């Protein structure tokens, strides 16, 4: 895991922190934007684009996020609520007789359209996880989703196609990006996945903070001390810091969006990240506290770090991923879970 330390290069202005944590004596007024009078959610918005991680679009307006993300599990959760069953039945009634995978895509686009009517920015809509190892099928599904959005009068610029960050998924994303379709690479748990995504010039990546935390906590067992692994010491937070620093150091334009949070401390430890996608429950917790919030990540600080450039071809990527037990396990687990929820969603649609 990455380590973070500060080096004194002879005077106060040359103190460089490799973890991107600005020392208290160097923090300026701009690092906190006088956010003592704000709740933490509003303060976070001064540093970071806040994204809502939900399929329940009726919750969105109270938090005023810029963007929103969905996935098969979130859509499955939403359609089981009474408020959304008429929407699901309407889609099934209108498109009954069409291939089931197309009807599911139409449901995803219907949710995406409802979300985009509320937020000013972009929505992420995910390709079927069962296509995670099929580059051509992923490209075709991404193109179809965009075509369905366009048929509803929604510009492609307001949609990110979510794709699992397998080697095949990353290559599909590169092809989609070349065609002007922007992508969000999800289920990202390792530095090698992030580097490959940067090489592919994808629009955005979603490193999963909470699931990384889960793996290390489970692996440590009784030896895990929560207070020692909180905030900047959280392994999921450290993973995102490493990726963010690398991207900013080498001018990689891909946006970094931390995802899958388990607690507010993980979120505040990443203040300054390009984007953070946050569940409604944690958004509410942020809005309920007015504790001061400091910037934790900073692009200018990252540019001063002494980091080597890295590249991965397919063989190097597969070996690096294989060497990372956590990332290998969590990627496989995530694909299986999203695929299982896709099957459950299909069954609900057929019963509608």
Q: Is the pLDDT of residue 276 over 70?
A: yes
Distance of CA 331 to the CA centre of its chain: 14
Which residue in the list 81, 89, 150, 162 is annotated as catalytic?
Answer: 162
pLDDT of 56-113, one tens digit each? 999 898 999 999 999 989 999 999 999 999 999 999 999 999 999 999 999 999 999 9
Q: What's the pLDDT tens digit per position in 98-125?
A: 999 999 999 999 999 999 999 999 999 9
Of 282, 274, 278, residue with least CA distance to 257: 274
Report pLDDT digits (tens) over 279-318. 999 999 999 999 999 999 999 999 999 999 999 999 999 9
Q: Could you give the domains of the chain?
A: 46-351 (3.20.20.70)
The model's pTM is 0.89
Q: Is 201 a catalytic residue?
A: no
What residues contact residue 113 under an 8 Å CB cut-off, 6+ apart? 149, 152, 154
Bridging pattern class, strands 49-53 and 204-207: unpaired
β-strand partners of 16 = 7
């Amino acid at each position: 895991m990455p380590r973070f330390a500060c080096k004194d290069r002879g005077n106060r202005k040359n103190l460089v922190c490799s973890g991107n944590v600005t020392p208290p004596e160097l923090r300026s007024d701009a690092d906190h934007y006088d956010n003592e009078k704000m709740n933490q959610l509003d303060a976070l918005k001064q540093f970071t684009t806040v994204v809502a991680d939900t399929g329940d679009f009726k919750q969105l307006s109270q938090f005023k996020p810029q963007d929103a993300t969905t996935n098969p599990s979130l859509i499955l959760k939403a359609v089981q609520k009474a408020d959304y069953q008429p929407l699901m039945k309407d889609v099934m009634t209108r498109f009954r007789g069409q291939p089931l995978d197309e009807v599911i895509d139409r449901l995803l686009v219907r949710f995406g359209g409802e979300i985009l009517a509320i937020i000013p920015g972009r929505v992420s809509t995910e390709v079927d996880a069962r296509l995670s190892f099929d580059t051509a099928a992923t490209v075709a599904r991404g193109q179809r989703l965009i075509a369905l959005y366009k048929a509803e009068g929604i510009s492609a610029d307001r949609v990110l196609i979510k794709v699992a960050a397998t080697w095949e998924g990353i290559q599909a994303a590169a092809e989609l990006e070349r065609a002007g379709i922007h992508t969000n690479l999800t289920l990202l748990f390792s530095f090698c996945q992030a580097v490959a995504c940067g090489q592919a010039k994808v629009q955005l990546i979603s490193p999963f903070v909470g699931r990384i935390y889960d793996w290390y906590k489970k692996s440590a067992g009784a030896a895990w001390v929560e207070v020692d692994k909180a905030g900047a010491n959280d392994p999921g937070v450290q993973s995102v810091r490493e990726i963010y620093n690398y991207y900013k150091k080498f001018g990689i334009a891909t946006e970094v969006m931390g995802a899958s949070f388990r607690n507010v401390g993980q979120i505040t430890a990443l203040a300054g990240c390009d984007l953070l996608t946050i569940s409604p429950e944690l958004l509410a917790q942020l809005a309920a506290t007015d504790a001061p919030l400091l910037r934790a990540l900073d692009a200018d600080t990252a540019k001063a770090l002494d980091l080597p450039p890295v590249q991965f071809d397919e063989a190097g990527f597969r070996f690096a991923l294989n060497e990372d037990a956590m990332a290998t396990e969590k990627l496989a687990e995530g694909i299986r879970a999203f695929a299982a929820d896709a099957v459950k969603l299909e069954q609900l649609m057929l019963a509608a």
